[in-house]
Structure 1
Amino acid sequence: MTKTTDDGPEKPFLNTVEAATWLRLTKNTLEKMRVHGRGPVYRKHGRYVRYHIEDLVEWSQANKRRSTSDAV
């Protein structure tokens, strides 16, 4: 098993807490979004939910708005 160091490459998969922190959301908000199908794409690795950083970026890009009146 290899040890992860702070100067190594960023890990591509994040758990729910890490993904929520990365998106500046709470864990509960991200979980609710997942249940209702409104959140970023996630993957199941066994019983664990994982988010790929590229999927988080893609979801964030898809949710860009110029004003509050933009269509959802």
Structure 2
Amino acid sequence: MYDEHLKTRHLTQRELADRWNKSEATIERYRSDGVGPRYLKIGGKVMYRLEDIEQFELDCLHESPSTRVVPASATTGRDRI
């Protein structure tokens, strides 16, 4: 039987930095400060699930400078960048 979780795509810190046009140091700081998407740490290596990155991006979506789009997941309690 095929496990659906095996299809989960993971990004490295470098790949996330490239995706957001940020430095790796900035991504590290977000993680250290407790902001940004959830992450995995396995054997000392940090990985980000694509689904968590995409959800975080949706949670940060704004319609205008004063109006943030509030998706149903906004109650997750994660800080935004």
Q: Give the shorter-chain TM-score range.
A: 0.7 to 0.9
Q: Distance in 2 between matches of 1:20 and 1:58?
A: 16
Q: List 4+ stretches of structure 1 deviating above 6 A.
A: none
1:60 to 2:57 alignment: yes
The alignment yields a C-alpha RMSD, in angstroms, of: 2.1
Gaps of 5+ in 1: 1-10
What secondary structure sits across from 2:53 in the alignment? helix
Q: Which one of 35, 38, 47 corresponds to residue 35 of structure 2?
A: 38
Structure 2 distance, partners of 1:12, 1:67, is: 31
Instruction: Provide the rounded CA distance (Å) in 1 between the counterparts of 2:56 and 2:38.
Output: 8
| 1:27 and 2:24 are equivalent in the alignment | yes
Question: Which residue is 1:13 aligned to?
Answer: 10
Deviations 1:3-24 (A, max 9, x none): xxxxxxxx71111111111222
**Shift, 1:70, TM fit:** 3.2
Number of equivalent positions:
63
Which sections of structure 2, spanning at least 5 residues, go unmatched?
1-7, 69-79
Cα distance in 1 for partners of 2:33, 2:59 equals 17
The structure richer in helix per residue is: 2
- Whichever structure has more strand as a proportion of its residues is 2
Q: What letter corresponds to residue 49 of structure 1 in structure 2?
A: V
